[in-house]
Amino acid sequence: MTAPVTVTQNTRIGWIGTGVMGLSMCGHLLSAGHPAVVFNRTRAKAEPLMARGAVWVESPRAVAEAADVVFTIVGYPADVRRVYLQPDGVLAGLAPGKIAVDMTTTSPSLSAEIAAAAERLGTYALDAPVSGGDVGAKNAALSIMAGGDAAAFAAVRPLFERMGRIIAHQGPAGAGQHTKMCNQIVIAGTMIGVCESLLYAVRAGLDPQAMLGSITKGAAGCWTLDNLAPRILKGDYAPGFMIDHFVKDMGIALEEAGRMGLTLPGLALVRELYESAARKGHGRDGTQALYLALKELAA
């Protein structure tokens, strides 16, 4: 097996997926001086990076052929499978020793499948989903949880450090995704608590801002209260992370739990509520739009 590439200032990075998260994350690597090649299904979404010097190519395979380390952050497991395993995908263009890093939240079993396919080719594939939302991406303050080959992780770590503050190798291929499932399970329970707290405050005649000022620094304090509760009070439901994607994540967690013989009734309930919100037209809103669906139920 060829040793993984050594990351230097001149390491060319490839980036596939320039949405809410990917645009900022790739931007930090450009700011660090790394030359970059990019691809996205909608070219217009990559134009801000191209304006900063990134080079557009026409397929995931072309990204892999031109780059030393390829990062992907797309939408759904089917997108990950297509980006990596199709004839014009990343693995078809990745030379021995090069590294692909999937930062999408996807199925742990799919991550393990991709890593095994990469290993057969003499290349490396890490799963490295993130937490921190659009704010974390913009501020290079993400939590990055990685699975896969330890040497490949060590090689890529300097690039991770340009995007995140908490960076950890969790174990073999798929371990990063399993860790992200733990993260999403916590967020699911937290989000319903935050939304119901705000509904209660309004019904009780409290000033919600004053209420938040009291509880955010106590035992209830959390990222969701700090970052998403203020957006709810402003009526800002723009997506830092879309409900449709969160429903996908909860489905993966429940599927994996089922494989392990584990029942998660709280997560199942929150997914039902989010699915209701999506049916009401909020699928492309931020996860904080759960407040609107719960508000209807409380009316």
pLDDT tens-digit readout, 39-59: 999 999 999 999 999 999 999
**pLDDT score of 1 more than 80:** no
Confidence of residue 241 (pLDDT cuts 50, 70, 90): confident
Domain range 179-298, its CATH number among 1.10.1040.10, 1.25.40.10, 3.20.20.140, 3.40.50.300: 1.10.1040.10
Fold for the domain defined by 13-173: Rossmann fold (3.40.50)
For 254-281, the pLDDT digits (tens) are 999 999 999 999 999 999 999 999 999 9
- Quote the pLDDT of residue 107: 96
Task: Report the pLDDT value the prediction gives residue 227, as an integer from 0 to 100.
Answer: 92
Confidence of residue 240 (pLDDT cuts 50, 70, 90): confident
Residue 79 has pLDDT above 90, yes or no: yes
pLDDT of residue 266: 95
pTM for the structure as a whole: 0.93
Mean per-residue pLDDT for 113-133?
96
> Average pLDDT of the chain?
96
Residue 273 is predicted with a pLDDT of 95
Q: How confident is the model at residue 133 (pLDDT cuts 50, 70, 90)?
A: confident
Q: Residue 223: what pLDDT?
A: 92
Q: Mean pLDDT throughout 18-25?
A: 94
**Mean pLDDT, range 222-248, rounded to an integer:** 94
Report whether pLDDT(229) > 80. Answer: yes
In the chain, where the domains are located: 13-173, 179-298
> Residue 126's pLDDT is what?
98
**DSSP one-letter string for the chain:** -PPPPPP-TTPPEEEE--STTHHHHHHHHHHTT--EEEE-SSGGGGHHHHTTT-EE-SSHHHHHHH-SEEEE--SSHHHHHHHHHSTTSHHHHPPTT-EEEE-S---HHHHHHHHHHHHHTT-EEEE--EESHHHHHHTT-EEEEEES-HHHHHHHHHHHTTTEEEEEEEESTTHHHHHHHHHHHHHHHHHHHHHHHHHHHHHTT--HHHHHHHHTTSTT--HHHHHTHHHHHTT----SSBHHHHHHHHHHHHHHHHHTT---HHHHHHHHHHHHHIIIIITTSBGGGHHHHHHHHH-
Tell me, what's the pLDDT at 159? 98
- Residues assigned a catalytic role: 180
